[in-house]
Amino acid sequence: MDIDLETGAYIEIGGEIGRYNSLPIDYLVRFASAFQELVLTLAKYDLPSDTPINLDNFKIELVDFKKGSAVPKIAFSQRSESKTGQDWQIQRNKVGEKFEQLIAIADTGDYSKIKELYPEPFKRNLVVADFYEFTASFGTAPVSFGNYSEKEGKVIQLYSIKKFKPGVRDSLISKIEESKPEISDFGEGVAKMKYYKTIKGKVKRKIVDVYTGKNISLEYAPEVIVAPECSYVLKSPLRCLFEKENNYYLIQNELLNIIGTGNTEEEAVIDFAEEFDHMYKLLNEMNDNSLTERNKQIKSFYNFYIETIEL
């Protein structure tokens, strides 16, 4: 890899922002936060779902700063708590490779190539949204990735970031709509539901099977999210898209920007609950100043929608 997030990637920021060999703190926070969110998205949706993933392994840090425009160096955290599990190095390498593939696309300016990298709409939507936020976080400043030459005192450019236009971003995002069961000459689609109560007496439901002559996307609307260490009791049912796609199940809530998948319905429900739990805790650990506007809204939605948390 030309860009190695393990040892660190140098980012040269020019223009008015970097002309004084320094970076305003609000600017640094904005692009570093967008960088972090992009890396976490790649870790969540590019690594195999059958291996355990600790997202703390993908935290990034500012590890160096050079003069000559503004040249920060960003790397995966080297703290011991950010190196857990047996496969953390392999997983970091895979995320780093995918990140470089995206930066290489940004260098060409042909962002339509992201569709080749992510043919699945539900993955592409999330990656495109976060990658756009990352490129937009630099504003109009010219930005390049490269290796720093101590001898020459400058960055030897590998990739430059071309403008990612909003229209191109929108063309890459597929709108996923919840559809109602269809009624035709073959009758009406029917979903078999299972209802059960939690220890606290709250009712939860999930789809068990679907009976129809045509493909139908259904609704998954839990009132309680049962995570490994706690249960989130909601003020009202959380309406999500629930569908079967290519022999696996998918639960998606676009407002919260989370997806649960699995080879069975039960696995998808468990994955969705774990993702809900992780994102709630992650967003509430972060200061609003370090979040993008989109994630500030998601954080507010979480805190508004949750009535109580039962341990």
Model confidence at 215: pLDDT above 70? no
Q: Where are the domains of the chain?
A: 9-172, 183-310
Q: Is the pLDDT of residue 214 over 50?
A: no
Report whether 260 contacts 268 (CB < 8 A): yes
Would residue 177 be called left, alpha or beta, if left means φ above 0 and alpha means ψ between -120 and 50 degrees? beta
Alpha helices in the chain (DSSP H): 15-18, 25-46, 88-108, 114-117, 121-136, 166-172, 265-285, 293-305
How far, CA to CA in Å, does 33 sit from each of 4, 165, 201? 19, 20, 40
% of the chain exceeding 70 in pLDDT: 84
- Percent of the chain at pLDDT above 90? 41
pLDDT over 70 (residue 187) = no
- Please report which confidence band the pLDDT of residue 7 belongs to, taking 50, 70 and 90 as the band edges: very high
Question: Which of 146, 7, 6, 4 is CA-nearest to residue 71?
Answer: 146
Q: pLDDT digit string (tens) for 286-310?
A: 888 888 888 888 888 898 889 999 9
- What was the pLDDT predicted at 190? 47
pTM above 0.75, yes or no: no
Return the pLDDT at 129.
92
C-alpha of 114 from chain center: 15
